[in-house]
Amino acid sequence: MNKNLYLRIVLSVAASALACSVGSAQPVQTYPRKPIRLVVGFPAGGVADASARPVATHMGKSLGVTLVVENRGGAAGSVAGQIAAQAPADGYTLLWSSPGALTINRILEKNLPYNADTAFTPVGRAFTFCNALIVRQDSALISVAQFIALAKEKEKEKSGQLQYGTQGIGSAGHLSAQMLQNMAGITMSVVPYKGGTDILTAIVSGEVPSAFLSSTSAGTMRGRVRILAVTSLNRDPSLPDVPSMHEAGVKNYDASFWFGLLVPTGTPAPIVNRLNKALRDALDDAEVGRVSRAQGLNPAPSTPAEFAAVIKADYEKWRRVIVKS
């Protein structure tokens, strides 16, 4: 081959490669250029929605675009998970998720419409939250130790199992109760309800003797319910006078939960990092902190790698709890 022709071919290929490289980098350099969709796996008005909206507003200001919250409830977050998993990996579709879509549903469901292990890249954890073990205000039970003793007594006397109200299998309340059963060696009976308000009504009326509800819901009803413990490893800031289950004698008990931000796998690392910075800035904002803490949510920012480790550890923890049940 003629040397000049060979040189022209080499230079042409190099120029094409450079052009492609510059072209692919350009969207990252100019990101974001349009509104970003934030898919929330639960209906408007719930705690997931309430946690996402102030963060979305602040992140939008940081990024210079609007984050549009899209509530796509269903299947404990899996509907939203599927939408996000199938979206382009360009940073314009984000997933606001709790453990359900990423860990719990993997354990409970055989045929998820996405691979939770590979479909997403973590951006960062946003909040942690916990439940509280409650009984009626005039209950004879005043401690976790008495609660466990009563459950064991009922089993021994074969007088039925101690009942608790829950919003369904795989819910935070159900998981909290199942962990207690496994660690304390007791068996309890599930009484299903549609939502937290129904459970509170049932507790107050004496229809069901106990429940695991969000610390916020429990706190708002302290005049009518007694809170025996919170389910986080340490005390919850919203209920500083209430012991954790660990403090109350169930050593190393930790049924904590979280909300966090993810993107479809393949999203460029510079975009992930920019989103992480915007998320952390939002969580550092005093007003976001005030609003979230009023919902029983504790800001808990992380790096993408730290959040990935949390998701992995949670999967192993809840798999052990559920499989043992």
Model pLDDT, residue 196: 86
Model pLDDT, residue 23: 42
Which CATH superfamily, name and number, covers 130-230? Periplasmic binding protein-like II (3.40.190.10)
The reported pTM is 0.86
Model pLDDT, residue 34: 97
Helix axes 269-284, 286-294, angle to 10 degrees: 80
Residues of the chain with pLDDT under 50: 1, 3-25
The CA distance from 277 to 93, in Å, is: 17
The CA distance from 74 to 82, in Å, is: 11
End-to-end Cα spacing for the chain:
73
Model pLDDT, residue 14: 42
Q: Please tell me the number of Cα atoms within 13 Å of 209 on its side-chain side.
A: 13
- Residues 38, 96: contact at Cβ < 8 Å? yes
Model pLDDT, residue 101: 93
CA–centroid distance for 169 within its chain: 16
The CA distance from 133 to 250, in Å, is: 13
Residue 61: its H or E element: helix 47-63
**What does DSSP assign to residue 112?**
-
Structure tokens at 312: 């992995």
- CATH classification number, 33-129+257-324, choose in 3.40.190.150, 3.40.50.1370, 3.30.300.30, 1.20.120.1760: 3.40.190.150
Structure tokens at 100: 């359900």
Model pLDDT, residue 325: 67
Of 236, 258, 221, 254, which is closest to residue 134 (Cα–Cα)? 221
pLDDT, tens digit (0-9, with 9 covering 90-100), for 165-214: 998 888 999 999 999 999 999 999 999 998 888 999 999 999 999 999 99
Q: Would you kindly state where each structural domain of the chain is located, as residue ranges?
A: 33-129+257-324, 130-230
pLDDT, tens digit (0-9, with 9 covering 90-100), for 232-271: 999 999 999 999 999 999 999 999 999 999 999 999 999 9
